[in-house]
Amino acid sequence: MAWTLITGASEGLGVEFARIAAKESRNVILAARSKDKLEKVADEVRSHGVEAVVIPADLSNMDEVDRLWSDATDGREVDVLVNNAGLGYNGPFEAGQSWERELASINVNMLALTRLMKLAIPHMQALPKGRILNVASVASFTPGPHMATYHATKAYVLSLSEAVAEELRGSTVTITALCPGATATNFFEDADMDGVRLLKLSKPMKAKDVAEAGWLEARIGKRIVVPGAMNKFFAFLPRVSPRSMTTRIAAQIMGKH
């Protein structure tokens, strides 16, 4: 039986993806930094009668990324990869967070995701089919003052996903970029986003609804998925407005009261 590898699987969207996979009787490989949290998710997943493998890994370390893939594919065929792990921070670029945190965000959001894609595609091409679901963000569509690095990394994820999806057109491997907006997870707390105006404008979507939307559309090979009417509006706005205007709007939305 083929396997599903999910990064950032210890909480939020990662847990929901694991639940969806298990309900479809898919075995799962769960990756994140916290082994204790992963074991709890694995116990829940196993209650659906599937296998669950826990692989703790710090994806800001490229050696750990390679080890994760090597361990995940040791005697297993991985035909679904969910690149869900991500880091962000709300604050001024010049002094908002340490360089170490900036670098970790770049490594996790961009380098680890790219490396896993690079390893997964030839692996999946040897199988009957495969799909990669990259969790980007509605932030992919516009620069984001107060979250400049996060927006930039997610723009990279969207661009990479679209480009590689086109390269793979007609093959048995598909690439999907999931671009959610505000979602009810621990991301906001981790990113120090308490008081951000975005959270006042619209109620965050449930993680379950976001994960289901991404999973279902990835199954049919859709390249970009933007769940939620408000998120679709924010994704469309840069197409019809001057870039300077959308950046100024983003600055207001991502700023704090």
Catalytic residue positions?
Answer: 150
Contacts of 57 (CB under 8 A, 6+ apart): 31, 32, 33, 64, 65, 67, 68
Contacts of 54 (CB under 8 A, 6+ apart): 30, 35, 38, 39, 42
Closest residue by Cα to residue 147 from 252, 60, 227, 14:
252
Instruction: Answer whether 83's CB lies under 8 Å from 132's CB.
Output: yes
As a whole number of angstroms, the distance between CA 210 and CA 180 comes to 7
Other Cβ atoms less than 10 A from the Cβ of 58: the count is: 17
Query: In the 8-state DSSP scheme, what is residue 186?
Result: T
As a whole number of angstroms, the distance between CA 14 and CA 211 comes to 8
Closest residue by Cα to residue 141 from 244, 254, 238:
238
Query: In the 8-state DSSP scheme, what is residue 7?
Result: E
